[in-house]
Structure formats: structure tokens, C-alpha cells
Amino acid sequence: MIITTSILLAIGLVYLDGIINFSKEGIARFFFVNSSNSARSILTTISGAMMGVAGTVFSITLVALTLASSQFGPRLIKNFMYVRLNQIVLGSYISTYLYCLLVLNSVKEGDAYTFIPSISILVAIIAAITNIILLIIFIHRIAISIQADQVISDISDFISRQVNNLFPEKLGEEKDSDENIDSAVFISGYPQRLSIKSPESGYLQYIDSDTLMKILSKHDSLLDLFCRPGAHLVQGEEIAWLYSKNDWEADNLDKILDQLVIGKIKTSRQDLEFSIHQMVEIALRALSPGINDPYTAIACIDNLKATLSYLAQAKFPSKYRFDENEKLRDIADTLDFEGVLDAAFHQIRQFSGGIPAVMIRMMEALTTIIGFTQNEKQRKAVIRHAEMIINLGKQTLKEKNDLQNLIERSEKILN
């Protein structure tokens, strides 16, 4: 887009120079070029400098990506590539280079005719100054973006937005909880059962629930889906049962499969665990013997604590989905609070053996989270994690005072 704009701008300004004849007298002589040699020199210098700096920008970007990949994990590289400033800077330098080439080609000098695109050259000079400012901003942004605290903060902000989108604080009152719904009663009303199999291998990235609900309602059927976004599927694997009263045509079955987007990589669009695992991966790398950075792991735990405290109050969607006529149409495989808690703390706990600072901070995080829980099932999940941390501490902490500190912080949860 930026390159296309620069090409159109070069053509437009050269045309404008051709129909407007600026006077080069007075103050204008300080801004407009009146010599073809000067025009070529300026444009050549700017275009050459832009390509040189563009190469430097590419090199800096690759170095930053290498550092991020080795320190935070290769799955975080896409986060750096999607930064809009990086895209603008790279596009700006390349587009300025192309702009100068096009304007340079329009400079003519001869006995009969001389053409110097003064306005176009002035714009090229302004673009060069702008690019110098962008380079300073770019270097500053790169230096900040590869810092551990900044990476953790960016991921935490993304998780917060995703959580607010997937799990709004108020979803309305439920008529029945999942425990009060007997799916067998609804299934018994459909005499036919058809196995739905995965059309290809890959990760389930997205489910269009609204369209799927319309299709099932139209054909008066019930779908029992065994997988959720983030699950890895194998071609031919059974992923759902379709209950119906009449036979389904192949085209209609394809419409159901079309609502399931399967790709080769995981995405965070509907998969909260994927985003949680990005934060966990940073903590695990920080706890590895080669890095041994417990402070980064502690920062990850603090941010996960904030997310889980919110989710403890959020209302997770029911796995039973009804249509407008209160008929059960979809039994989904949904994520619950216990699943998110396991994804956040299981691996960090497993890697934190013998590191009292990290284990104590995890216990403090659980103490905060349990204060936000809304039901007994959530509290039991938190207590289970606290007990596992205590067991790990008894096995790996050699200093009695460290173990005692850990036990004291668990009293608010276990007592």
C-alpha cells in the first residue's frame, strides 16, 4: 500500500511540476532546485541512502527476531512481525527509494528543453527527513520491544483483550446450569446418528457458531462436537456425532464442515490456551538452567494471576447451545476455569522445583485468585494446585525456612 502510494505520488507531482512553473527568485530559491545536476545529485543521494538504511533496518529486525526467538520462544516471532511501526518503517524506506527513481527519470536537460521537477524534489527531501525521524523511533521501539518486561506486558494486554472478548463479565442469567441438563433426553428424540470426521489434518482454528446453529436449526438436528479451537485433528478422525430425524445429503454435511476452519498452525482467535501458553513459555525459558532468570518467571506469574482473577468472576459459556425455540442444537467442547488454571500453572510448577522465590510467588498468586472464585468447583481447583506446590516444596526445598515460608503462605488457601 505504501509503495503503491509513493508511485502514484511521484507520477502526480511530476505532472504537477509540468503544468506549474514556479519562480525561483526570492525565498523560493532556498527551497526549489534550479539546476538539473543538483536535482540528479539530490535524488541519487536520497535513493542510495534509503536503500542503505533499509538494509540496516532489515538487519536490526532480524537481530531482534533472533534474540526474541532464543530468549522468549519462536512462537512469539509473529508478535514482532505484526508490529505496525516495523511495517511502516520498512515500507517507507523502500517507497522513498522508488519515488526518487521515478522522479530522477523525469529530469531532462537539453538545448531545446529542460525539465526540473522542483516540487517533486522538495517532497523527496521532506520524505528523507521524515525517514530519519522514523529511524530514530524505530531503533528506540526495537530496543524496548525485546525487553522481557515489555514482551510480557504486550502479551498480557493481548490476553486481557481476548478474555474480555471471549468471556464478557455479564452474559445474562442462565435458565439451567450444565449439571441440570440431561443431554440424553434431547438425543433420544433423534433416531439417526451420523459420524462426522475431520476432512484434513491440522489445528482447529475457528468455529462459526452462529452459522452452524442456523444450519442445525434448519435441518432440525443436534451436533455433539468433541473438539474445540486449539485441538489437533487427524484426517479421518471422528470429531462429532450428528443426530437427526432425516438423512443428510453430502452437500449439507459439507456445509457443517465448512464452519470449522482447520489450519497448519495454532491461532489465538478462539483459543485462549494458546495465548496463555505464550506467557507460560517465557516463564519456562526463564527457569531453564541456561538462563536462570526467576524474576522474568515471577513477572509472568503476576500477569497470569490478573487474568485468572478475572476469569474466576467471568461466566464461561455453557457447552449446551439452544436455538431460538429453546431446542438443543449443539453440545460443544468448552473451556472452563479449571482448564485455564491448569494451562497457566502446571508447567511453571513443574519447572520451579527447588526455586523458592518462584514457588512462593505462585502460592501468593493462588491466594489472590481464590479470593475471586465464585463457586466450590473453582475453589477446589485452586486448592489442588496449592497442594501440588506444597508437595513439590517438600521434595525439592532443602532449606527448612524456605519450606516454612511456603507453608505459611498456603494457610489462607488450605486452612
Q: What pLDDT, in 10s, does the model give residues 343-366?
A: 999 999 999 988 999 999 999 999
Q: What is the predicted pLDDT for the residue at 170?
A: 41
In this structure, the answer to whether residues 258 and 274 fall within a common structural domain is no
Residues 164, 307 within the same domain: yes
Question: In angstroms, what CA-CA distances link 264 with 193, 231, 237?
Answer: 30, 11, 16
Considering the domain architecture, whether residues 89 and 141 belong to the same structural domain is answered as yes
Q: SS3 of 234, please? A: coil
Phi first, then psi, for residue 320 (nearest 5°) are -95, 115
Backbone angles phi, psi at 197, to 5 degrees: -115, 155
Q: In the prediction, which pLDDT does 187 show?
A: 81
Chain segment 50-83, per-residue pLDDT in tens? 888 888 888 887 777 777 777 777 766 666 666 7
Domain containing 297 equals 158-168+270-316+335-414
| 326 inside domain | no
The pLDDT of residue 289 is 84
**Nine cell digits for residue 280:** 507460560
Instruction: Please state, rounded to an integer, the average pLDDT across all residues of the chain.
Output: 84
Are 300 and 383 in the same domain?
yes
Tell whether 151 is covered by a domain. Answer: no
Q: In Å, how far are 116, 138, 216, 220, 286 from 70, measured between CA atoms? A: 51, 21, 47, 52, 11
Alpha helices in 107-207 (DSSP H): 118-145, 148-166, 183-187
User: How does pLDDT run across 186-220, given as a tens digit for each residue?
Assistant: 787 888 888 899 999 999 999 988 888 888 888 88
Residue 152 lies in a domain: no
Kindly state whether residues 219 and 296 are assigned to the same domain. Answer: no
What percent of the chain is predicted at pLDDT more than 90?
26
239 and 289 housed in the same domain:
no
Which residue has better confidence, 160 or 234?
234
pLDDT (tens digit per residue) in 94-121 = 899 998 888 888 877 766 677 778 788 8
Alpha helices in 167-271 (DSSP H): 183-187, 209-218, 250-258
Specify the pTM.
0.75
Instruction: Give yes or no: residues 131 and 224 share one domain.
Output: no
Nearest to 332 by CA among 234, 240, 268, 202: 240
Domain boundary among 263, 298, 325: 263
- Examine residue 330 and state whether it is found in any structural domain, yes or no: no
**Based on the domain organization, do 219 and 130 belong to the same domain?**
no
Q: What is the pLDDT of residues 222-234, one digit of tens each?
A: 999 999 898 999 9
- Asked if residue 305 and residue 164 are part of one domain, the reply reads yes
Residues 312 and 163 in one domain: yes
Residue 173 domain-assigned?
Answer: no
**DSSP calls for 165-186:** HHS-S-----SS-GGG--HHHH
The confidence band for 33, taking pLDDT boundaries of 50, 70 and 90, is low
Residue 323 domain-assigned?
Answer: no
Domain boundary (248, 263, 278) is at 263
- Among 220, 238, 263, which residue terminates a domain? 263
Regarding whether 114 and 254 lie in a shared domain, the answer is: no
The CATH number linked to 209 is 3.90.1170.30
Any domain includes 153: no
Answer yes or no: are the C-beta atoms of 227 and 207 closer than 8 Å. no
Distance, in Å, from the CA atom of 339 to the CA atom of 343, rounded to the nearest integer, reads: 6
Q: How many domains does the chain have?
A: 3
Residue 329 lies in a domain: no
| Residue entry with cell 495454532 | 266
9 and 139 inside one domain: yes
